[in-house]
Amino acid sequence: MRSIGLTGGIASGKSTVTGTLADLGATIIDADRLGHRTYEPGTETFAQVVAAFGADIVGEDGTIDRPTLGGKVFGEPGAMTRLTDIVWPGIAALAVEEMAAARAAGVEVAVVEAAVLFEAGWETLVDEVWVISVPPAVARQRLMDRNGFSAEEADKRIGSQLSNAEREARADVVISTDCSLDEVRSRVESAWQALQARTSMTDAGLTGTGATE
């Protein structure tokens, strides 16, 4: 099985790319979904988060109240780091489990979609990394249209993340989404075909190379 770590900035088009990859036959492992699982009562991560931030973050239904927890960590770099130091390893463990299950089921390609792939160090979990990239001006407009953000709000969100250059420098494959949906899908399909070729070369004992779209 070939594993891909897929990442990109806010409004870069990751959902469109993962949707196309799923249509092509890839199994998608969503880090956000795994993140929700780490907060479930009874998990080790749940216990560690409550121990670190207090029992008052647990709501009446026994689950972690996200707004209450958010109030303790947002705008507080030290607290946010404490939280991610607990949650990110939990997500990584679940991702490894899901990749192992996919491999056992005969899946040929598994894609771990994670906005914080590099920040969390999860690139070490996968065979190669695909970065979805879009110019900041395009991401800004998408956030304004899609989320109703002001230009200032959009720029603040974009500026709080790794830059395109930082991500692309660490990528095996870069797919730009500053184009129509049809063209994005075409670019993903081309990258998929290149992946199949690299996989065939690897299976044949040859050395494959990365590709940039």
What CATH number does residue 208 fall under?
A: 3.40.50.300
Angle at which helices 77-104 and 44-53 cross, to 10°: 180
CA proximity to 95, closest of 157, 38, 31: 31
Shared domain check, 113 and 99: no
pLDDT greater than 90 at residue 206: no
Task: Measure the CA–CA gap between 212 and 193, rounded to whole angstroms.
Answer: 12
Average pLDDT over residues 84-94: 96
What is the number of alpha carbons within 13 Å of residue 169 lying toward its C-beta? Answer: 5
Shared domain check, 195 and 155: yes
Mean pLDDT of the chain: 93
Shared domain check, 149 and 94: no
Strands (E), the chain: 2-8, 27-30, 109-113, 128-133, 173-176
Domain endpoint, select from 107, 124, 147: 107
Shared domain check, 115 and 101: no
pLDDT greater than 60 at residue 211: no
Residue 95: per-residue pLDDT = 97
Shared domain check, 202 and 135: yes
> How many other CB atoms are there within 10 angstroms of residue 182's CB atom?
8
Residue 110: per-residue pLDDT = 98
The model's pTM: 0.89
Domain endpoint, select from 84, 107, 130: 107
Shared domain check, 126 and 63: no
Shared domain check, 77 and 128: no
Shared domain check, 114 and 96: no
Domain endpoint, select from 107, 142, 170: 107
> Considering its fold, how many domains does the chain have in total?
2
Shared domain check, 103 and 114: no
Is residue 209 very low, low, confident or very high in pLDDT (cuts 50, 70, 90)?
A: very low
Token pair of 61 as six digits: 């239904």
Shared domain check, 146 and 88: no
Shared domain check, 202 and 119: yes
Residue 122 structural domain: 1-25+108-213
b/e 118-131 (16+ beta carbons within 10 angstroms → b): bebebbebbbbbbb
Task: Measure the CA–CA gap between 163 and 94, rounded to whole angstroms.
Answer: 27
Shared domain check, 128 and 37: no
